[in-house]
Structure 1
Amino acid sequence: MPVTEWFIIKSLTVPSSWVAVLLALILTGIVVWRVFGKETEDWYSDAAILFLLVWKLSVVVTDFDMILDSPLSILYFNGGETGLYLGVIAALGRLFWQLRRKGWPERELVAMLIAMVMVQSLYQLFMVLLNEAEMWQKILTVLVFVGLTMLTWQKAKLSSVWRIQLTILFLAGHLFVSTLQPRGFVQTPLFVTGLFVLCSVAIYVVTHKQQEQMGEKL
């Protein structure tokens, strides 16, 4: 969903996409805390805060000359799309490391998939609410992401095979929705979903190798 609305907060102009990201992260954190408990919510919060910090502070890398000329500009700008990708990669890397250290607990893997799907789905829903588009585009976007979220909640706990299938299905659903939007496949939210999928596939491969090794030892 393209950005058509901007919000003015004192001297800062904020695009609706920023608002959608923050609301999606906060609401997902509340749901993870209520459903999975504080310990699970802690790793989610760590990843979310790391993402926001890297995204915000990456402006030092992406616009170093501007920061040298006006150091206070770091308060008003972020690293843009490049910084966002760096933030997502940093957050997923930390999440991968935390789950690996814990031995890939089933409950945490379920929570991770649900959190990933919820963040992206809520972002899409808020973008629908905050921006202008054709009504049929809005309705289809809502139906696809709500449907994928509900299916993920129902099936994620069944098995690792179901989780990887849900991950691929979510990517397919996002690809379908992207065909309805002006920028098509060339859009940041879709690339973020792609990073989610890569992380999920990596976890699936690693956990299954461990299970096979344990089976051989037995």
Structure 2
Amino acid sequence: MINTEWYSIRTLTLPATAVALLITFFIVWLILRLQFSKRLSELYSDAIFTFIIVWKLSLLVTDFRTVISNPITLLYFNGGTLGVYLGVIVASLQIWRKRQRLQLEEQEMLAGSWAIILTQSIYQMLAVLLNDNNTSSEVITLAVLSVVTLLILWKLIAVKQALLLYTLSYLIVAFLQPLGIWQTAVAVSLILLSLGLIIQHERINVGGKK
């Protein structure tokens, strides 16, 4: 979706996509905190914090001279698309590194895969609701992702298949959106799909050893 709206929080003005992302992070964290273990919600919040920090500091890579001459720009700007990619990759690697140290149980790994799907789904829905894009593409996005997410939450589909189904559904929906499949969210979805499949593979291995 194309960002068309901006929202002001005191002196800070944020694009609708950033607002959608922050709300999504809080909702998914709260679900993990209330429904699953504290350490799983902490792993999620740590990954989110890492993503935000890397995303903001990536401005050092994309516009080093401006940051050096005026460091306060780090508060108001970020590294853009490159920063998003770097943030997602670093946060995913952090989860990958911590997974064994925390010795997550099979149920926690399962919840981790659900969290990946929920993060993408809630964000996409909020991005649609907070922006003003082509009506038909918005309706299709909401309808398709809502149905797929409900099927997944009702556990009518196995986790591995759910990850693949959600990603495939989003790729199809993306074709009908203004930016097509070349939007940043598509690449991020593929990265998160890979992370989810890895977590799911380890969950099966953990379950098989019991």
Per-residue CA deviation, residues 6-50 of structure 1 (Å, 9 max, x unaligned), is 234566442111111111111111111111132221111111111
C-alpha distance in 2 between matches for 1:202 and 1:40? 16
C-alpha distance in 2 between matches for 1:206 and 1:120? 21
Confirm or deny: 8 A CA contact 1:60 1:67 kept in the other structure: yes
| Residue 163 of structure 1: aligned partner | 159
C-alpha distance in 2 between matches for 1:119 and 1:210? 24
| Residue 183 of structure 1: aligned partner | 179
| Residue 196 of structure 1: aligned partner | 192
| Residue 96 of structure 1: aligned partner | 96
Superposed displacement of residue 197, structure 1: 1.0
Please provide the CA RMSD for this pair. Answer: 2.3
Confirm or deny: 8 A CA contact 1:99 1:108 kept in the other structure: no
1:21-170 correspondence to structure 2 within 5 Å: 21-155=21-155, 162-170=158-166
C-alpha distance in 1 between matches for 2:201 and 2:117? 20
C-alpha distance in 2 between matches for 1:190 and 1:61? 23
C-alpha distance in 2 between matches for 1:91 and 1:39? 16
Superposed displacement of residue 133, structure 1: 2.1
Deviates more, 1:7-16 or 1:97-106: 7-16
Structure with larger Rg: 1
Superposed displacement of residue 154, structure 1: 2.5
Gaps of 5+ in 2: none
C-alpha distance in 2 between matches for 1:117 and 1:191? 14
Which AA in structure 2 matches 1:25?
F
C-alpha distance in 2 between matches for 1:129 and 1:176? 19
C-alpha distance in 2 between matches for 1:210 and 1:36? 18
C-alpha distance in 1 between matches for 2:199 and 2:134? 38
Per-residue CA deviation, residues 148-178 of structure 1 (Å, 9 max, x unaligned), is 222222328x8xxx22111111110101110
Percent identity between the two aligned chains: 34
C-alpha distance in 2 between matches for 1:12 and 1:208? 45
Gaps of 5+ in 1: none
| Residue 174 of structure 1: aligned partner | 170
Quickly say closer, same or farther: Cα 1:139–1:48, change in 2 above 3 A.
same
State the TM-score, normalizing by the size of structure 2. Answer: 0.89
C-alpha distance in 2 between matches for 1:210 and 1:6? 45
Where 1:14 maps in the other structure, the secondary structure is: strand
Deviates more, 1:203-212 or 1:125-134: 203-212
Confirm or deny: 8 A CA contact 2:52 2:87 kept in the other structure: yes
Confirm or deny: 8 A CA contact 2:106 2:206 kept in the other structure: no
State the TM-score, normalizing by the size of structure 1. Answer: 0.86
Per-residue CA deviation, residues 67-114 of structure 1 (Å, 9 max, x unaligned), is 112111111111111111111111111111222334452112111111
C-alpha distance in 1 between matches for 2:175 and 2:67? 38
Which AA in structure 2 matches 1:30?
L
Quickly say closer, same or farther: Cα 1:113–1:203, change in 2 above 3 A.
closer
Quickly say closer, same or farther: Cα 1:33–1:206, change in 2 above 3 A.
closer
Count of residue correspondences: 210
